[in-house]
């Protein structure tokens, strides 16, 4: 019945504007927001130096944005249903644009962090709103191509962010990272006002005048905020050895427990958790979470290796990762055209196979890799993402009532972003722990009495003495140099181990899509679309 209702709705209502003009319009602001999740990463030293902040303090510019963004994502659908989706979407674009201006002129770090919170909160409503707008604007038969446009924005923008940010910082001031959003925001507001409209069923939803679940709203914000801060700061504060992290963990567990109990016991919840009982909704959220893990962790892993082991600059490392984004721009339309012709579950499985193969290719990393090899790593991993992203976004709306589109969109965006946070925290922690483990195994071998060590130290000592160092200093320098080599080798071994773990995880995920229900074959799209 739900599927039939959806078809009837698209037969009886069509947006006045061209659907593709609407798709490009809403994608514009979403690309701007997705870019801001990573564009400031390379500017942290410049921001800290300019505002007199330590590196640790400057990272709150990133954390504050991600936390505010995560808080708004799951409730964006609820807000859109109450005030109207177009009004909510344009309010988010307006606030994001104003907050970008305020970030660019912020005189202190405290003010910048505050304005980043506003920017992140506004950005949290953009991705889910675009996704649900596309779901309503296009009939089910053509959603895959619409989600291809959406995918280009939300997948490639975070990848391009570090390169764009590095170029701006190198040639101008870090403040232009935020000023860049202003003209885009103005254009987006104008076009959205002219082209975007709410379908009739949303007006019916607004007339219901459902009560506001303040308790559920507060519990969700506290729980999601605690989880996001914990994931972002966990490794930096050594996880459970930090009282701050333990407090966040306890808060998130209690908050989520009370939130689940509250939402399942009232008539009009902020977030309809019963949606997860639908097999396709629950499974697509899980798969999208894992897509976030694979996407963001590899985006961090490759440039980090290139900078730590290979000595690349931030801009060079960013260029290697951005190459994958360029490939995605061409692949998403291809995957969008193929999606309606094949079983979406098989496409998702193929996507995980390609991603697994791409990660497996990275297990041969060594200090002698070329820039071209580094580019090929990212490109091969990127090849699988369109076959994951588009079918999942199509499947999650299968059989869902129209009035639930906004909520499903918010959930999907939240799961992808939380997956990214978990993936980054996981690989960062694993790298640190495995580096310590390998270094502890290598250090005993770098001691007097080991022939290989004595020979290497003797050669390096002679080299230091030729540079003018006295014998005691030369021996000290040689020992320090060998220890530095051991650290690099331990780090390299840790990278290999982490990549093998990621290969194992994505391999296990290959059969996961077949736990979903196979979607029914859709009739031909109505004329006019």
pLDDT of residue 162: 74
pLDDT of residue 521: 63
pLDDT of residue 209: 63
Q: Count of domains in the chain?
A: 3
The yes-or-no verdict on residue 376 having pLDDT over 70 is: yes
Q: Give the best-scoring range by mean pLDDT among 92-101, 167-176, 215-224, 227-236.
A: 92-101
Residue 191 lies in a domain: yes
> In terms of domains, do 176 and 218 share one?
no
User: Residue-wise over 384-402: b if at least 16 C-beta within 10 A, else e?
Assistant: bbbbbbbbbbbbbbbbbeb
pLDDT of residue 1: 39
Mapped onto helix, strand or coil, the DSSP state of residue 81 is helix
Last residue of a domain, one of 193, 211, 229: 211
pLDDT of residue 257: 95
Of 9-18, 224-233, 255-264, 473-482, minimum mean pLDDT range: 9-18
Residue 192 lies in a domain: yes
Question: What band does 314 get if pLDDT is binned at 50, 70 and 90?
Answer: low
Average pLDDT over residues 60-82: 85
Rounded CA separation 413/80 (Å): 15
> In terms of domains, do 200 and 249 share one?
no
Average pLDDT over residues 445-457: 72
The yes-or-no verdict on residue 293 having pLDDT over 90 is: no
Question: What band does 222 get if pLDDT is binned at 50, 70 and 90?
Answer: very high
Q: What is the pLDDT of residues 201-220, one digit of tens each?
A: 887 777 776 677 889 889 98
The two three-digit tokens of residue 480, written as one number:
């320090």
Rounded CA separation 385/416 (Å): 13
Average pLDDT over residues 237-248: 91
pLDDT of residue 2: 40
> In terms of domains, do 105 and 232 share one?
no
pLDDT of residue 6: 42
pLDDT of residue 350: 92
pLDDT of residue 261: 94
The yes-or-no verdict on residue 529 having pLDDT over 60 is: no
Average pLDDT over residues 365-382: 85
> In terms of domains, do 202 and 252 share one?
no
Average pLDDT over residues 469-487: 78
User: Residue-wise over 425-447: b if at least 16 C-beta within 10 A, else e?
Assistant: bbbbebbeebbeebbeebeeebe
Q: Give the best-scoring range by mean pLDDT among 204-213, 319-328, 339-348, 451-460.
A: 339-348
Q: Does the global pTM surpass 0.75?
A: yes
Average pLDDT over residues 183-192: 94
User: Residue-wise over 161-186: b if at least 16 C-beta within 10 A, else e?
Assistant: bbbbbbebbeeeebbebbbbbeebbe
Mapped onto helix, strand or coil, the DSSP state of residue 429 is helix
The two three-digit tokens of residue 154, written as one number:
């939300």
Residue 526 lies in a domain: no
The alpha helices in 276-313, defined as continuous H runs, are: 279-308
Alpha carbon of residue 176 to chain centroid: 23
The yes-or-no verdict on residue 282 having pLDDT over 80 is: yes
The yes-or-no verdict on residue 7 having pLDDT over 50 is: no
pLDDT of residue 5: 42
Q: Give the best-scoring range by mean pLDDT among 302-311, 456-465, 481-490, 503-512.
A: 503-512
> In terms of domains, do 118 and 232 share one?
no
> In terms of domains, do 260 and 303 share one?
no
Question: What band does 377 get if pLDDT is binned at 50, 70 and 90?
Answer: confident
The yes-or-no verdict on residue 499 having pLDDT over 90 is: yes
pLDDT of residue 210: 66
Rounded CA separation 29/195 (Å): 14
Residue 143 lies in a domain: yes
Last residue of a domain, one of 211, 232, 258: 211
> In terms of domains, do 292 and 216 share one?
no
> In terms of domains, do 26 and 164 share one?
yes
pLDDT of residue 309: 84
The alpha helices in 172-239, defined as continuous H runs, are: 176-179, 181-195, 200-207, 214-233
The yes-or-no verdict on residue 446 having pLDDT over 70 is: no
Residue 20 lies in a domain: yes
> What angle is formed at CA 166 by the lines to CA 160 and CA 168, rounded to 5 degrees?
100
| Alpha-carbon torsion, ordered 55, 61, 64, 69, to 10 deg | -140
Q: Give the best-scoring range by mean pLDDT among 89-103, 384-398, 483-497, 513-527.
A: 89-103
Rounded CA separation 171/100 (Å): 20
Of 48-62, 122-136, 382-396, 415-429, minimum mean pLDDT range: 48-62
DSSP state of 49: H
pLDDT of residue 523: 53
* Whole-number average pLDDT of the chain: 83
Q: What is the pLDDT of residues 253-274, one digit of tens each?
A: 999 999 999 988 888 888 888 8
Q: Residues 6 or more apart from 139 whose CB is under 8 A from it?
A: 7, 10, 525, 526, 529
Question: What band does 101 get if pLDDT is binned at 50, 70 and 90?
Answer: very high
Q: What is the pLDDT of residues 405-422, one digit of tens each?
A: 888 888 888 888 888 888
Rounded CA separation 29/93 (Å): 7
Of 35-49, 160-174, 441-455, minimum mean pLDDT range: 441-455
Question: What band does 398 get if pLDDT is binned at 50, 70 and 90?
Answer: confident
Of 9-23, 246-260, 492-506, minimum mean pLDDT range: 9-23
> In terms of domains, do 251 and 207 share one?
no
Residue 39 lies in a domain: yes
> In terms of domains, do 173 and 239 share one?
no
Domain that holds residue 337: 277-519
Last residue of a domain, one of 221, 239, 267: 267
pLDDT of residue 192: 94
Average pLDDT over residues 75-95: 90
pLDDT of residue 298: 76
Average pLDDT over residues 115-142: 88
The yes-or-no verdict on residue 369 having pLDDT over 50 is: yes
> In terms of domains, do 206 and 86 share one?
yes
Residue 256 lies in a domain: yes
pLDDT of residue 285: 87
Of 41-45, 74-78, 401-405, minimum mean pLDDT range: 41-45
pLDDT of residue 87: 93
> In terms of domains, do 61 and 103 share one?
yes
pLDDT of residue 190: 95
Residue 24 lies in a domain: yes
Domain with 344 in it: what CATH number?
1.20.1250.20
């Amino acid at each position: 019945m739900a599927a039939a209702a959806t078809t009837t709705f698209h037969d009886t209502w069509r947006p006045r504007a061209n659907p593709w003009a609407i798709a490009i319009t809403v994608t514009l602001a979403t690309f701007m927001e997705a870019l801001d999740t990573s564009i400031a990463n390379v500017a942290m030293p410049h921001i800290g130096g300019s505002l007199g902040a330590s590196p640790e303090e400057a990272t709150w510019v990133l954390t504050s944005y991600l936390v505010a963004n995560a808080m708004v994502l799951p409730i964006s659908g609820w807000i859109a249903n109450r005030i109207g989706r177009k009004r909510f979407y344009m309010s988010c674009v307006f606030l994001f644009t104003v907050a970008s201006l305020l970030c660019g002129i912020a005189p202190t770090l405290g003010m910048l962090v505050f304005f980043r919170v506003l920017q992140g909160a506004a950005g949290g409503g953009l991705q889910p709103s675009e996704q649900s707008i596309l779901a309503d604007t296009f009939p089910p038969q053509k959603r895959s191509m619409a989600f291809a446009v959406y995918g280009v924005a939300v997948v490639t923008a975070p990848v391009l962010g570090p390169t764009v940010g590095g170029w701006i910082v190198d040639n101008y001031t870090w403040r232009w990272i935020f000023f860049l959003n202003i003209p885009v925001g103005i254009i987006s507001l104008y076009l959205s006002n002219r082209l975007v409209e709410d379908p009739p069923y949303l007006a019916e939803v607004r007339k219901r005048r459902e009560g506001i679940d303040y308790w559920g709203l507060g519990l969700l914000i506290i729980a999601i905020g605690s989880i996001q801060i914990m994931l972002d700061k966990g490794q930096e504060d050594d996880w459970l050895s930090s009282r701050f992290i333990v407090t966040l963990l306890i808060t998130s567990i209690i908050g989520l427990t009370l939130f689940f109990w509250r939402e399942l016991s009232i008539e009009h919840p902020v977030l309809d958790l019963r949606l997860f009982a639908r097999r396709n909704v629950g499974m697509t959220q899980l798969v999208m979470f894992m897509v976030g893990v694979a996407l963001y962790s590899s985006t961090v892993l490759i440039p980090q290796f290139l900078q730590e082991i290979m000595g690349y600059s931030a801009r060079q490392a960013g260029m290697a990762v951005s190459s994958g984004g360029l490939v995605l721009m061409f692949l998403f339309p291809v995957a969008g055209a193929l999606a309606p012709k094949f079983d979406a579950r098989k496409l998702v499985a193929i996507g995980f196979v390609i991603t697994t193969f791409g990660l497996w290719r990275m297990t041969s990393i060594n200090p002698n890799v070329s820039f071209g090899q580094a580019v090929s790593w990212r490109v091969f991993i990127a090849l699988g993402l369109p076959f994951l992203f588009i079918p999942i976004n199509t499947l999650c709306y299968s059989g869902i009532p129209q009035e639930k589109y906004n909520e499903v969109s918010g959930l999907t965006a939240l799961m992808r972003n939380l997956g990214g946070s978990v993936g980054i925290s996981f690989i960062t922690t694993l790298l640190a722990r495995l580096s310590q483990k390998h270094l502890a195994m290598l250090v005993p071998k770098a001691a007097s009495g080991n022939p290989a060590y004595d020979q290497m130290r003797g050669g390096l000592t002679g080299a230091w003495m030729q540079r003018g160092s006295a014998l005691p200093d030369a021996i000290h320098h040689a020992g320090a140099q060998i220890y530095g080599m051991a650290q690099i080798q331990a780090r390299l071994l840790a990278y290999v181990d982490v990549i093998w773990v990621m290969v194992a995880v994505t391999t296990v995920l290959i059969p996961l899509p077949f736990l979903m229900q196979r979607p029914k074959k859709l009739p031909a799209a109505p004329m006019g679309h």
